[in-house]
Amino acid sequence: MRIELINTGSELLLGYTVNTHANYIAGQLAERGLRLCRQTTVGDDRQEMRDAVAAALDRSDIILITGGLGPTSDDFTRDVVAELLGRQLIHHPAIAESIRDRFRRRNRQMPESVLIQALVPAGATVLENINGTAPGLFLEHAGKQIYLLPGPPRELKPMFEKLNLPRRDRLDCRVFKVARLPESIVEETVAPVLKDLPALELGYCARMGEVEVRVLGDNLDEAERRIRAALGDNIFGVAGDRLEEVVLKMMAGKTLAVAESCTGGYIAHRLTNVSGSSAVFLTGYVTYANESKMRLLGVREETLKTHGAVSEATCREMAEGARRQADYALATTGIAGPTGGTADKPVGLVFIGLATPTQTVVERHVFTFDRETFKQVVSQYALDALRRELLRS
């Protein structure tokens, strides 16, 4: 069974909007054991949309289309699909009434234009929109299934969850996440041990400071056993796991503080994205200024003068200063760039400190990335340093 997704909306092709629908829908399908074969984006252009839908109908069984169901002049998905399938658009009184009702309840004047949302291709099933006026539509045509879904995420998502899509066993796919190791090393480690397993699709995805190994197909239990044996503690989690979540779980019953210079609050942000993090994470210090490093963390003026803010010594004092009120502390100080580098201390130089109840360890790295990637990679190394420490202790 082939499933395709067509996203419509000029904003997606003008660089103003990231297509998060494709990711959401692909994930939802995978949850149901279904795999998306192709995704296409077209702008608000009738001919382009018509061509894309016609081609998808030719080669696939289920076509999901998002966007273009609203009341404005650039919303014409329902017209294009009705025309393509040779169906008339019919006024649907119940939809019109529910739109009127929605406006009444909000005490707002209803522009007549919104009633085009009550037009429905003959034979279509109406899908309720709990967060908006434009209903979704479901059509069957020559053995194919077509879903028209609204564009705004908060309208799409509750509707999608209720779709009567086929459901298979969970997609036979396993994902293992590794921090710190580069993609080529991960492959060198994993590929040889899986060589003799037939019917296995092996994939890798390198993110910043993280590599995903993905296996699909048969023999997954055996494949997983071998992958885990080969990568060992380098694996921090499986599909959907976030390093910060893994670390916070391992920290249960202990407390953590973070002193950030070059990561500028990003580690604290990642930690506090996790619900319940407050049981572990007590305090974050974002000490951009030297004065803050001294006043809040007790970094000595002498240390800053002798070694500079970006140094092993300062990082150590930052970590130890942050640890005064917690069991563990992480500290970062570095040169995120693009400016601020010197011959001695190039852009990308970073020290990552971890203070534990028994010792303080400082790592030195050079990561030459743009500013935001730099923060991502440094935070990844810092959290993984803590994870590895907790594994050992």
Ranges within 100-119 binding its own copies (CB under 8 A): 111, 113-114
Taking CB under 8 A as the criterion, the residue among 17, 98, 219, 360 binding its own copies is 17
Beta bridge partner(s), residue 176: 213, 238
Question: Tell me, what amino acid is at 177?
Answer: K
* Nearest distance from C-beta of residue 230 to its own copies, angstroms: 15
Taking CB under 8 A as the criterion, the residue among 48, 172, 218, 312 binding its own copies is 48
Binding part of the chain for its own copies, among 46-54, 313-321, 356-364, 385-393 by CB under 8 A, reads 46-54
- Report the C-alpha gap between 89 and 123 in whole angstroms: 10
The residue (of 39 and 219) whose beta carbon lies closer to its own copies is 39
Binding part of the chain for its own copies, among 21-29, 84-92, 141-149, 299-307 by CB under 8 A, reads 21-29
Query: Which tokens hold the place of 170?
Result: 């969970």
Positive or negative torsion for Cα 31, 34, 37, 39: negative
Which residues contact residue 243 at a Cβ distance below 8 angstroms, ignoring those fewer than 6 apart?
A: 177, 179, 210, 236, 237, 270, 380, 383, 384, 387
What are the b/e assignments for 248-270, b being 16+ CB within 10 Å?
bebbeeebbbbbbbbbbebbbeb
Binding part of the chain for its own copies, among 87-95, 205-213, 357-365, 385-393 by CB under 8 A, reads 205-213
Taking CB under 8 A as the criterion, the residue among 89, 363, 369, 389 binding its own copies is 369
Taking CB under 8 A as the criterion, the residue among 33, 123, 217, 264 binding its own copies is 264
Contact 6, 40 (CB under 8 A): yes
Contact 329, 319 (CB under 8 A): yes
The residue (of 106 and 305) whose beta carbon lies closer to its own copies is 106
The residue (of 51 and 327) whose beta carbon lies closer to its own copies is 51
181 binds its own copies (CB under 8 A): no
- Report the C-alpha gap between 152 and 132 in whole angstroms: 9
- Per CB under 8 A, contacts with its own copies among 64-103 are 70-74
9 binds its own copies (CB under 8 A): yes
* CB atoms closer than 10 angstroms to residue 323: 24
Draw the binding track, 266-305, toward its own copies (x: CB under 8 A; -: no contact): xxxx-xxx-xxxx--xxxxxxxxx-xx--xx---------
* Nearest distance from C-beta of residue 331 to its own copies, angstroms: 14
